[in-house]
Homo-oligomer: A and B are copies of this chain.
Amino acid sequence: MTMDPHLLRTFVTVVRCGSFSEAARELGYTQSAVSQHIAALEADLGAALLRRRPVAPTGVGERLLEHAGPLLLRLDAARADIARLTTAPAARVVVGVAPLAMTHRLGAALAALRRQQPLVEVTVRALGREAVARDVATGGLDLGLFDGATAPHDPLHLADTGPLTTRAVTEQPLAVALPATHPLVGRAGLRLSDLADAQWIDAPDTAVPLAQLRAASETDGYRPALRYDGTDVHGLRTLVAAGHGLALLPRPAVGDVPGAGTAAAGLGVVAVPLSAPRLVHRIEVVHSSAVAGPAALLATALAADTRSKDPAGTPSRGPAEPPTEDAVEERGVRAG
């Protein structure tokens, strides 16, 4: 009667599987039970949620899905959070890293941690952005490194899954990755709005997602010429070099150009700095505010020059502190 989470869970499973029976198998129920679950939900809400044969959500069902996902996530997050409080912190850290959040600085911080506490078992897991956020909330990760494009000093926006603490790690300039043969290669800087009609590669987990560009520049456009689902920057660079489209990346990530100039040697990809709007690539570290043990150490090491602070203002999320400039990451990359 109160929109039982169980029912929601089977609902989303059914939609994902596109099948009652398959969902039943996955959830360890009988098909009968699943059918009854859906019937109960539909009776409770007074509307059809699924069209059967083929199984697909109705309009109302679509809407319920938008609620059900975050709701179940938050539920899992709550359980995981109190579990963290009750069980002692293990001598183990699992760090989830979004592709563009993998920096030298993280490497150094990890090295320091392992030097300081050699017995701690450290795992680094490369993940997509949402996966990082989700797994930190649900306890699969002790620490997450998360990135995105924002105005300077503005925090990133996470889905609200409970009392998480986020702190800034780095802000870096953004650059457009162009194939070396592109006519715009010579430019000193590019305005994003001039590129709205260009060919873009949609790499939501690797580059700055096109949705963020649309939001920032308040236009539609930035239509994806190709979608890249990997979590690996090199793969994306290769696609850019092959002329499949542009991508917006933190300038250091476009190419580890050792000499002067902006052309990445042999990669066929060139970085041209973003001149407008004033956006930066920001990396934040995120963890439960109930974190303890080595993960807490690592978090403060990453956000070294900033004060630690617990949630204030909004209860759900601590304010992100102003970022420290990351000398390591900026080294050797001055615009030409």
Contact = CB atoms under 8 A, between A and B. Distances in A.
B162 A160 contact: no
A89 interface: no
A50 to B, nearest CB: 14
A318 to B, nearest CB: 9
Nearest to A72: B2
B79 A45 contact: yes
Nearest to A163: B66
Interface stretch (A98-106, A119-127, A193-201, A212-220): A212-220
A159 B317 CA distance: 10
7 closest cross-chain pairs (CB), A and B: A160-B160, A67-B78, A215-B313, A211-B313, A47-B86, A215-B319, A2-B5
25 contacts: A2-B5, A2-B9, A3-B5, A3-B79, A4-B4, A5-B5, A45-B82, A45-B83, A47-B86, A60-B85, A63-B82, A63-B290, A67-B78, A70-B74, A70-B162, A70-B316, A71-B74, A74-B74, A151-B154, A159-B160, A159-B316, A160-B316, A212-B313, A215-B312, A218-B322
Interface of A: 2-6, 9, 45-47, 59-60, 63-64, 66-68, 70-71, 74-75, 77-79, 81-83, 85-86, 151, 154, 157, 159-160, 162-163, 209, 211-212, 214-215, 218, 290, 307, 312-316, 319, 321-322
